[in-house]
Amino acid sequence: MKFRLKRLMGMLSAAAMACTCLAGLPDISESQSVSAAPSSYRFDFGAGGTENGYIGVDASTSYSAQRGYGFRTPGNMKNVTASGSGALSDAVQFVTSGVSTDNTFDVDLDNGLYQVTVTLGNTNRTSVAAEGVYQLMNLTGNNATDTFQIPITDGQLNINCTAGKDGYPYTLSALEITKLSSDPTMKPTIWLCGDSTVCNYYPLATSTQAGWGQIFPRFIDTNVYQVRNMATGGQYAEAFMNYGQFDAILKYIKPGDYYFISIGINDTNYSNQEAYYNALTSMTKQAKAKGATVILVAQQGRQGDISNSALNADSGRWFNGTVKQVASEQNVQCIDLFKLFYNHCKSVGQTVTDTLYIDSDTLHPNRAGATVLAELVAKSVSFSTISELPGTELPANTTYQIQNVNSGLYLEVQEGKAENGANVQQWGANGVQQHNLWKVVPSGQNDGYYYIYSMLGDGNTFLLDVDYGKTQDGTNIGIYQNTHSDAQLYKFIDCGDGTFRIGTKVTNGRSALMPADSSTANGGNVVESTYTGLASQRWKLEAASLPVVTEPVKVLIKGDLNDDGILNAVDIVLFRQALNSGFGTKAMELAADVNYDGSATVADLVLLQKYAARMIREIPAAQIARYDAIKADFTQGITETINAGYTADAYLNLNNELGSSVTFRVSVPKTGNYLVTFRVANGSANNRAMMLSVNGGTDRWRQDFLTTGAWTTWQDRGIVLPLQAGINSITAVSDTAEGGPNMDYITLEQTDEPIAETYVKPAETQPAGSNPTIYIAGDSTVQTYRASYAPQQGWGAYLADYLDSSVSVSNRAIAGRSSKSFYDNGRLDTILGEIKAGDYLMVQFGINDSAASNAERYAPVCGSATNPTNGSFEFYIEKYVEGALDKGATPILVTTVIGLKAYSGGKFVNSYGNYCQAMKDIAAKYNIPCIDLNSLMVAHYNTIGYDTAYTYHLISAVEGSTDMTHFTETGAKAVANLVAQAVKNQNITPLAEHVK
């Protein structure tokens, strides 16, 4: 429907041209040319400025042929603000509206088929019309967005926002128009008529409530069909037919299309059986006359229906009987969704059925319920198909990094495991590495499909693999040796914007690879799912190759500025020159930091001179080395001096975005485990967690950075990482959209503590069962270690072995934590968020609490359980006790373990006496159990003797180890048994009844 005034102006211009020629003036018409209209537009509406890449339009922008766009009646438009950001921070309001109103936004377009994406401003409920009919129905919520396809046959798009709910503004914030084809014919379309059980809810991808029409595209081949859901809440058949929704369908419906009618629930309130019958019959006849296939749907029932027989449950719902009558009379298919859904619910039972409905609503399905309904409907129809889309030809044997468009993260093999069944996930790429590099090899069948090889190992062994060749949405993707099957073949289908969807051969390209649930997080699992056009189903191919290593990395020698392996006068001369003119390279500056204090100064030169003059026999080994954040390499961040409390010349402020990062280049004298302590400030309320990696390896550690209370409050957060002798890189990448904390510096200190557990994506939390659970908060002597750490283990890993199966154990202990840092890092809060009445919380701390040199951990004993000093050990232990009691759980305090060093005068003795006593005092104050594990171990060790006790600790099992604190598997089992027997002997009921 083209703007009539534009045509009139064109005719007047032609008349004026003719008059000019008749007057004898030059005819300039031959020198003028009409350029084609652009094939795409991005409009930013409102008066609040224009986002980059958009065309700014405010309420006063009137249409002109020269401009090619604008409002037809700008006097009926109004500039307003909106709650989004960027292009979505402002909008225009349609003061007058209607489906066929003259108050439209008009855009000149060449004839063809277009995709239109609409984003509203602030609104309660708004519909979108174009070309004089509805296109999108009842978008709800601020900045709601949706997309539709529309044929343009008269050279102009006319679009407006109109009533979804009277009394609220109808606003438009942004509009994107993309030409899909010069042919204006829409692909075969599935049109939906329905009510609140069928319609769309927003946001489309995440709404809790959903109609089955909203989910329907998941079960349809969207390469072949598009789904247009015209259903609205509260609608009845006669109103759907007469008030605009059916008009839109009639305008476009054509042979090859389908028209589903699923309506009737509201007809019992707003209509009658005769009017309902007439409306269904009329719509069916009109759609059939257009050549479409009509399918009538007898609607599903309510939440409690399965408590009755199917016959009784459907009684009184006369509309379903009328649906079947009309279907029979008009010779069209009728899907008895009532019966299908009733049988499904009957098979899963009432408890599961209850989870398919909105809370306290027995009629409307939630997203899970809508998914079941959509699948039942889709499986009831045999849709015609066309040939699958062609793939893009790629250069054979080219290697790529494959980046997800939605998350910006890269396809990789989890943990870099070159083995059958290794999982595939997405992660931020820290350079090109074997685990995130892929090689494409043609199938050899000229069918557009490729094998995708992981470059792990020899690069020719493991292929991207669909688990067991399944076709269901959510099927996992991993790697596997060549099975010569369709499960390892993929097609790269061009999305038209330089990105590709990666279609699986097992579904004939219907399903595509994507992070599960469109995850944007590191570790998001990759699965196959029916292609629906989501950004998370599109990937960028970045040609890349592994870096060529020409020589082994040299070990850094402190003081060796010219890197010749010798400390002599030449290095001293270079040092003096560098102090005046600067160090030529970062490596030279690191070598000059002889005393490991994080900077190269005269003090380091003095040490080097003393060594060269043989005044000292060796360069001192590092104690605690410091590295300032502002001297590190960082991306998406700035150095600042705004917030007080930092100790370097400035501090690092990383951008508030996922993926902002900092890399510290550090040097250590020998290979080992190092306590890496970050001095940070986090004035926000949220955890600004970061993913850590060392030397570009595949292992990742997730370091929490909880709030410090203010941006001027700086605190330490530590983690134990493995470093190699010489230069190392420690990279921290923001794992939240808020970025990381502000950073002052990091320090390194060698330790005999075990390295932190590498990050494993947590499994979905399971609903709490009725059986009691023992939660354990503790340190490295309690922690559960993965098999790769064998023979090291903590006693918490084996506690369940000494209990019957009616009790569960959830070991949350973690290395390097004290009562203070475990609490500060939010780990106690996590437990308290899950623990329930009848559960238990075991607490063992003490070893790390006594570290006076480590502010993050230090929690000294104050000696008073009655009125603990703020920040003391007693102060923090009370947090655990009171937290458990508030939840109805039983706290059990456990005194800390002993090590082999607790051996004096030919026998084992108690250690950490003041911390053990504090545990007993707190337990007495609250009248709760305390297991004196320290004393139990003393008695047990003296019984078995030193030689046997020696086998309980890592020093006995790991070559070169001096660790006399942490346990072997043998020791951990023995200590776990001591704890379990103490529960029984102390009659800690009712838990004691479950000890074997």
Handedness of CA 208, 213, 216, 222 (dihedral sign): negative
Angstrom CA distances, 180 to 114, 118, 404, 817, stand at: 5, 16, 23, 57
Comparing C-alpha atoms, which of 305, 422, 293 is closest to residue 357? Answer: 305
Residue 364 annotated in active site: yes
CA distance 617 to 631: 31
- Among 89, 97, 127, 196, the active-site one is 196
3-state secondary structure 630-641: HHCEEECEEEEC
Paired with 634 in beta bridges are: 662
State both tokens at 845: 């701390």
Q: What is the DSSP string of 295-350?
A: EEEEPP--TTGGGS-HHHHHTT-HHHHHHHHHHHHHT-EEEEHHHHHHHHHHHHHH
Cβ 875 vs Cβ 862: under 8 Å: yes
The pair of structure tokens assigned to 393 is: 């030809």
Taking the C-alpha atoms of residue 774 and residue 975, their distance in angstroms, rounded to an integer, is: 16
Residue type, 470: K
> Pseudo-torsion of CA 323, 328, 331, 333, nearest 10°?
50
- Helix, strand, coil percentages, rounded to 5, for the chain: 25, 25, 45
Q: Is 361 a catalytic residue?
A: yes
Three-state secondary structure readout of 868-914? CCCCCHHHHHHHHHHHHHHCCCEEEEECCCCCCCCEECCEECCCCHH
CA distances (Å), origin 99, targets 96, 140, 160, 505: 11, 18, 8, 44
Where in 564-689 does DSSP place strands (E)? 625-628, 633-635, 637-640, 651-654, 661-668, 672-681
**SS3 assignment for 416-433:** HCCCCCCEEEEECCCCCC
Cα 48 from Cα 118, distance rounded (Å): 18
Count CB atoms within 10 A of the CB of residue 229: 24
For residues 492 and 502, is the Cβ–Cβ distance under 8 A? yes
Identify the three-state secondary structure at position 577: helix
Residues in the chain, total? 996
Q: What is the Cα–Cα distance from 411 to 536, expressed in whole angstroms?
A: 12
For 341-388, give the DSSP string.
Answer: HHHHHHHHHHHHHHTTB-TT-SSSBBHHHHHHHHHHHHTT------PP
Beta carbons of 928 and 881 less than 8 angstroms apart: yes
Q: Considering the candidates 27, 183, 361, 829, report the single residue annotated as catalytic.
A: 361
**Cis? peptide before 442, omega within 30° of 0:** no
For residue 305, give Cα distances in angstroms to 265, 350, 353, 366, 854: 15, 9, 10, 17, 63
Q: How far is CA 287 from CA 247, 255, 258, 293, in A?
A: 11, 9, 9, 8
**Residue 920: CA count within 13 A, CB half-sphere:** 10
DSSP string, 792-824: B--GGGTGGGGB-TTSEEEE---TT--HHHHHH
Phi/psi-derived region of residue 433, left when phi > 0, alpha when psi is between -120 and 50, beta in every other case? beta
Which amino acid is it at 950?
Y
- Of 344, 364, 966, 994, catalytic: 364
Give, in degrees to the nearest 5, the angle at Cα 713 between 710 and 715: 125
Examine the residue annotation and report whether 994 is marked as an active-site residue of this protein.
no
Instruction: Measure the CA–CA gap between 720 and 692, rounded to whole angstroms.
Output: 11
Which sequence positions are flagged as catalytic? 196, 361, 364
